[in-house]
Structure 1
Amino acid sequence: MFKTLKNDLPASIVVFFVALPLCLGISVASGAEPITGLIAGIVGGIIVGGASGSKIGVSGPAAGLAVIVATAIGNLGYENFLVAVVLAGVFQIILGVFKAGIIGYYFPSSVIKGMLTGIGIVIILKEIPYFFGLDKNPEGDFAFLQVDGENTLTELLKAINALISGNFDYGATVIAIISMAILLLWGNVLSKKGKIFKLVQGPLVAVLVGIIYYFVTKDSNLALSSEHLVSVPVAESLSGLKDLLTFPDFSAITNPKILITAFTIGLVASLETLLCVEATDKLDPDKNVTPTNRELFAQGTGNIVSGLIGGLPVTQVIVRSSANIQSGGKSKASAVIHGFLLLISIITIPNVLNLIPLSVLAAILFIVGYKLAKPKLFMQMYNSGFKQFLPFIITVLGIVFIDLLWGIGLGLAVGVVVILIKSYQNSHFLHIEGEDVDDGKVKMTLAEEVTFFNKAAILKELDSLPENSYLELDVRKTRYLDNDIIEILEDFAFKAKERSIDIKLVSERGTVENPESFIEFFKLRPKTS
C-alpha cells in the first residue's frame, strides 16, 4: 500500500484536518469526554484502516451513532457502555463471518434517508444552545426528554428568550458566527478556487480562528470562560497516555440493557458502514470494490479495541472518506497515517486542543447536521410519492421527538403497512386484462410471484365475477404461487359450479377446462427456476 505514498501522504493530512475537529465535536455531541472521540479516530485510522479491504474508506466516530451513544451513556454509565461497544464489535465480526454484508439492502431507502435526516435535525437542535454558550447541562443528551426534565423544545425556547433578553454569552456567539461564516465561505466559494483551499480544510481554519479569538479577547467583554472550551486530559508523555484511558466493567456484561445496546450499536454501525462503503465505491475514480464482509470484520475488530481502551464506537464515515478521495488518496495508507497523526496530536499538542471553543464545534456540527438533513431532500421524498415520503417523514419525526430506535421502528412499520396496501392494489400481482360484459368472458393473469399479501385482492376479484361468466385464468408467467392463493382458487372452483362459472386454466403444460382440483394440479406442476 506504500507504492502510492506520494498521493496518500498529502491526502492523510487533509483527512487529519477534517477528522480532528469532528472527533472532538462528535464526542461532545455524544455526551462523552473529548478524548473518547480522539481515541475512536485513532483506532478507526490505524486498526480499522489496516484491517479493512477498502482502499479509500476512512473510519472513526460517526454522527450517526451520537443519538444511541448519548442515550446509552446516560442510562448505563460510561464503563458499562464500553462493554456494549466491545460486544457490538463481536456482533459485527459474527455478521462478517456469516456473510451478512448485504444486510444494508434489506432496509428501505426511505427509512435510511429518514434516519440520517432525523439525526441531522437532532444534531442541529441540540447544538443551538451551545452555539450561543447557554446550556450548562451535559452535552449530547440526544433523547427528546432531557436529563434535567426539560425537552428539546423547552431548551430552544429558553435559548430564544435568552437571545431576546440579551442574556446569552456574547463571546461564544461571536466566534460561533465567525466560524459558521468561514465554513460556508470555504465550502461554497474558496474550495473551488484553488488546491490550497482543498488541502487546508474549513473546519481546521475555523478551529484555528477560534483559538486566536480566545487569546485576542482574553481581557475583553467578549472573553470566553473555561466552561466554553474543550477539555481534553493532558498526558505528560506517551507512557502517561494510559492514564487517560477508561476501561470497561465486564462485571456488568449480563445486564440485559447492555446486551440490547450492544445489538443496537452493532446493527446501526454496520448499516451506516455498509451505506458508506456503497457511497465511497461510487465516488472512487479507480472504481475499487470493497469486500463488505471483510469490512464488517474490520469494523468489529475496531470496535472491540476502541471499547477496551475507552473510545467511542467507530464506523466508516462518508465525510472523511470523501475528503480522502477528493484529496487524491489511492490506498489504505492515507487512513492509517491519519490515525497516527491523531495520536501524535494528543501527545504533543493537548494544551492547544483545550483552547478550542465549544461554540466553534457547534458551528461545525451545524454544517454536519445540515448536510444530513438538507431541505431539498424533503421535497425530493415528497415528489417520490407517499410510498417513499410516509415512511421517511415518520422516521424523521420518531427520531426527533422520541429517539433513534423508535424512529427506525416506526418507519419500518409504516413501510410494511404501505407495502401491504400497495400489494393489495398493485396490478403487478393481479392484472385483469379485459372484460367483455356481453359474453361474460374474463381473462385474469397472475403475476410472476403471488404471495399471501395478494389474498384480499384476488378474493375480491373472484367474488365479484357474475353468474354464468367464463374465467380464463393464465398462470404461464407465474413462478411462485403461495399455498394460500391455491386454497382460494380451490374454494372458488367449488363455488363456481354453484354460480355456473366456467374456468379455463392456462399454464405452460397446456389448457385445462374446469379443473377438478387446483391443489392437485399445482402439486403435479413441474418446478421452474
Structure 2
Amino acid sequence: MNLFKHWRKDLPASLVVFFVALPLCLGVALASGAPPFAGLIAGVVGGVVVGYLSGSSIGVSGPAAGLVVIVFNAITDLGGYELFLTSVILAGIIQIALGIFRAGVIGYYFPSAVIKGMLSAIGIMIFVQQIPLAFGFSGDVNTDRIDFSVLQDQITPGALFVTFISLAILLLWDGVLAKRNKIYKLVPAPLLAVVVGIVIYVTLGQSGFFALHESQLVRVPVPQDIGSFMGQFTFPDFSALANKDVYITAFTIAIVASLETLLSVEASDKLDPLKRQTPTNRELIAQGVGNAVSGLIGGIPVTQVVVRSTANVMSGAVTKLSAIMHGFLILLSVIAIPTLLNLIPQAVLASVLLVIGYKLANPQAFVQMYRLGKTQFVPFIVTVVGIVSTDLLKGIMIGLTVGLITVLLKSYYNSHQLLLKEYKGKKNLFHINFAEEVTFINKGRIIKELDGLAKNSFLELDFRKTKVLDYDILEYLDEFAVKAKNNNIHIKIIAEKETLDNPESFRKYFGHQVFQMQH
C-alpha cells in the first residue's frame, strides 16, 4: 500500500495520537522511575522506527504502562539507569530472535472473547483513571485505588470547566456537526479541544476562579540550547554485560513486552475497519529493533499499545503513516514548541481519553457478548474483572484459563449423542453417534454413559462421522466389551463401510495403535 495514499485521513489521526501519546510517554516514564525524557525517546522510537518496520497498518507503539513495575524494579535492583538500558538492548535482541524463530504464532491462540474482554477492561481502566485529571486532581493517578474522598476536596473549577468544554467539543463535533457538513471533518475534534483548552488557560486559567495550577498542565522538558537538549540523552553502560541480573531483566522484558505486543496486535486487528491481519513475526522483529534503538539512546522499553492504537483507529487512520508521523510530531514538539505544549491543560487530554475509554467499554458490547451465550460471555467477563482487579497480563491469563476450561467442557459434552429407541422389536436399544473428534477429554462422559447401561441391552456405536479416535477411548471400549459380554449387552459397530457385531477388540478393528481414522 502506498504510504501517502490516504494522507488526508492519516495526518489528522496522527495529531490525535500525538496528543494522546505525549502525556502517556511522560507519565509512564515518571511512574517507571526513569527520566521524563526517556519516555519521549521511547515514543519517538515507537512511532518512527517501529512504525516504519511494522507490518501493522493501524498499530501504534510506545512506552507501555504494563511494563511500569518491571522497569521500576529493574532500575532499582540493577543499581543504575545506565545498567538498565543494557537490559533493554538485550531484550530487543531476544525479541528479534523470537520473530526470526516464528514465535509470533502464539498470538493466534488467544480466544476472541478474551481479546474483547481485554479491550473492555482497558476501556474501563482508561475511563476511571482519567476522572481525577478531569476534576483537577494533580496527584498520582496511576495507582490501583483512587481515593475519591480526597479527590472531592481537590476539585478545581478551572479543570471542570475545561473538561466540560472539551467533552462538548468532542461529542458534538463528530457526533452532530460533522454529520451535517463535511467542513467540520477538516479539523479533528481533539485538536480543536486542545486549542480551546490552551485559550481557556491563557485567558482565564492563570488566576481567579478558573485558575489552573502548573501541576494540572502537560509538563515537557524545556531545553535551553542544543547542548542542554543533547544532555538529556543517557547511554548504556556495557560493563553490565558481566552481570547475570542484566540478562534476567532482559529476558523478563522481552517476554512481557512480546506478549503485550501480540495481544495488542490481536485487539488492533479486530478494531481495523478493513480487517487487515498483522504479520506477528515481523511485528516481534520490529519491536525488537525498536527496543534495541531505544536502549542505545536512553529510552525505556516499547510495545505496541492498545490505547494509542485505538485512538488511531477511531480517528480514521488508514495506513501506518499516522503512527510514523505521530513519532515525528513528538520529536518536533519537544525540540520546537515545548513551552507551548506546557500550556495544554491535562483536563483536555483526560477528556479525549474519557471518550476513547467509553467507546472501548461500551455497555452495548457487554450486551452483545451476553447474547452470544455462556461460552463467550464467561471468558469475556472473567477477563474484564481479572484485568481490572489485578493487571493486564494476570487478567489475560485468568481469562485464557477460563476460556480453555469452557472449551474443554464444551468438548466433554459434545463427544457423542445417545439415543434410546425401539428397533425391530428391541425395546432396550441404545444408539450412540460419536462426534468427528473423540479424545481423552471425552472419556469421562463416555464411561458414565456406557457404565449406566442395563443388562441385556442392545448397543449401536456409530463411528461414521468420526475422524479422530484417541487410543484412550479405544482402550476403554476394549475394557467395556468384556464387561458387556458378562452383562449380556449386545454391541454393534457401525462404521463408514461396514458393521461388526460383538467385536472382541475395538483396537484390532480400527487398527492396532491407530489413533486416527482417516475416512
TM-score class, shorter: 0.7 to 0.9
Given the alignment of the two structures, is residue 260 of structure 1 paired with residue 252 of structure 2, yes or no? yes
Bigger Cα displacement from structure 2, 381-390 vs 292-301:
292-301
Q: 1:99 to 1:204 in 2, by over 3 A?
A: same
Bigger Cα displacement from structure 2, 110-119 vs 88-97:
88-97
Distance 1:332 1:359 in 2: 28
What is the TM-score normalised by the length of structure 2?
A: 0.86
Shift of 1:291: 3.7
Q: Which of 113, 119, 123 is residue 122 of structure 2 equivalent to?
A: 119
Shift of 1:135: 4.7
Show the counterpart of 2:156: 169
Q: Superposed, which structure 2 residues align to 1:332-481 within 5 Å?
A: 332-333=320-321, 335-426=323-414, 429-436=415-422, 438-481=426-469
The answer on whether the counterparts of 1:40 and 1:314 sit within 8 Å (CA) in structure 2 is no
What is the TM-score normalised by the length of structure 1?
A: 0.84
Distance 2:383 2:237 in 1: 34
Counterpart of 2:53, as a letter, is A
Shift of 1:442: 1.6
Show the counterpart of 2:165: 178
The answer on whether the counterparts of 2:271 and 2:310 sit within 8 Å (CA) in structure 1 is no
Distance 1:321 1:123 in 2: 16
Q: Deviations over 1:215-253 (max 9, x none)?
A: 112132321111111111123456654333355677476
Q: Deviations over 1:351-380 (max 9, x none)?
A: 111111122222222122112211111111
Q: 1:513 to 1:422 in 2, by over 3 A?
A: same
Counterpart of 1:322, as a letter, is V
Superposition CA RMSD, Å: 3.0
Shift of 1:297: 2.1
Q: 1:289 to 1:273 in 2, by over 3 A?
A: closer
Distance 1:510 1:45 in 2: 64
Distance 1:29 1:173 in 2: 21
The answer on whether the counterparts of 1:468 and 1:499 sit within 8 Å (CA) in structure 2 is yes
Distance 1:196 1:304 in 2: 43
Distance 1:489 1:401 in 2: 46
Show the counterpart of 1:52: 54
Q: Which of 17, 20, 33 is residue 19 of structure 1 equivalent to?
A: 17
The answer on whether the counterparts of 1:467 and 1:499 sit within 8 Å (CA) in structure 2 is yes
Secondary structure of 1:191 counterpart: helix
Q: 1:168 to 1:49 in 2, by over 3 A?
A: closer
Shift of 1:447: 0.8
Distance 1:242 1:109 in 2: 45
Bigger Cα displacement from structure 2, 402-411 vs 32-41:
32-41
Q: 1:131 to 1:334 in 2, by over 3 A?
A: closer
Show the counterpart of 1:147: none
Distance 2:356 2:38 in 1: 19
Distance 1:240 1:195 in 2: 45
Segments ≥4 residues shifted beyond 6 Å: none
Distance 2:169 2:85 in 1: 36
Q: Superposed, which structure 2 residues align to 1:506-517 within 5 Å?
A: 506-517=494-505
Counterpart of 1:112, as a letter, is I
Show the counterpart of 1:93: 96
The answer on whether the counterparts of 2:25 and 2:42 sit within 8 Å (CA) in structure 1 is no
Distance 1:277 1:211 in 2: 35
Given the alignment of the two structures, is residue 270 of structure 1 paired with residue 262 of structure 2, yes or no? yes
The answer on whether the counterparts of 1:25 and 1:365 sit within 8 Å (CA) in structure 2 is no
Q: Superposed, which structure 2 residues align to 1:125-204 within 5 Å?
A: 125-137=128-140, 139-141=141-143, 144=144, 151-152=145-146, 155-160=147-152, 162=153, 167-204=154-191
Q: Deviations over 1:280-339 (max 9, x none)?
A: 3x527xxx6654432332233223323443145231753354367x46x5x655543443
Q: 1:527 to 1:466 in 2, by over 3 A?
A: closer
Bigger Cα displacement from structure 2, 269-278 vs 178-187:
269-278
Show the counterpart of 1:205: 192
Q: 1:207 to 1:85 in 2, by over 3 A?
A: farther
Shift of 1:458: 0.8
| Unmatched segments (≥5 aa) in structure 2 | none
Secondary structure of 1:283 counterpart: coil
Distance 1:338 1:294 in 2: 21
Q: 1:226 to 1:184 in 2, by over 3 A?
A: same
The answer on whether the counterparts of 1:44 and 1:58 sit within 8 Å (CA) in structure 2 is no
The answer on whether the counterparts of 1:41 and 1:342 sit within 8 Å (CA) in structure 2 is yes
The answer on whether the counterparts of 2:59 and 2:265 sit within 8 Å (CA) in structure 1 is no
| Unmatched segments (≥5 aa) in structure 1 | 145-150
Secondary structure of 2:398 counterpart: helix
Bigger Cα displacement from structure 2, 511-520 vs 345-354:
511-520
Distance 1:248 1:116 in 2: 35
Shift of 1:105: 2.6
Secondary structure of 2:499 counterpart: strand
Q: 1:134 to 1:96 in 2, by over 3 A?
A: same
The number of equivalent residue pairs is 498
Distance 1:365 1:73 in 2: 24
Counterpart of 1:528, as a letter, is Q
Given the alignment of the two structures, is residue 315 of structure 1 paired with residue 315 of structure 2, yes or no? no
Q: Deviations over 1:433-487 (max 9, x none)?
A: 4433953222112111111111111111111211111111111221111122112
Bigger Cα displacement from structure 2, 349-358 vs 123-132:
123-132
Shift of 1:117: 1.3
Shift of 1:130: 2.0
Distance 1:44 1:322 in 2: 17
Distance 1:297 1:191 in 2: 40
Secondary structure of 2:293 counterpart: helix
Q: 1:119 to 1:169 in 2, by over 3 A?
A: same
Q: 1:336 to 1:499 in 2, by over 3 A?
A: same
Show the counterpart of 2:67: 69
The percentage of counterpart residues that share the same residue type is 43
Show the counterpart of 2:475: 487
Bigger Cα displacement from structure 2, 430-439 vs 455-464:
430-439
Counterpart of 1:431, as a letter, is Q
Secondary structure of 2:220 counterpart: coil
Show the counterpart of 1:106: 109
The answer on whether the counterparts of 2:461 and 2:492 sit within 8 Å (CA) in structure 1 is yes
Secondary structure of 2:13 counterpart: helix
Secondary structure of 2:461 counterpart: strand
The answer on whether the counterparts of 2:16 and 2:312 sit within 8 Å (CA) in structure 1 is no
Q: 1:23 to 1:81 in 2, by over 3 A?
A: farther
Distance 1:435 1:176 in 2: 70
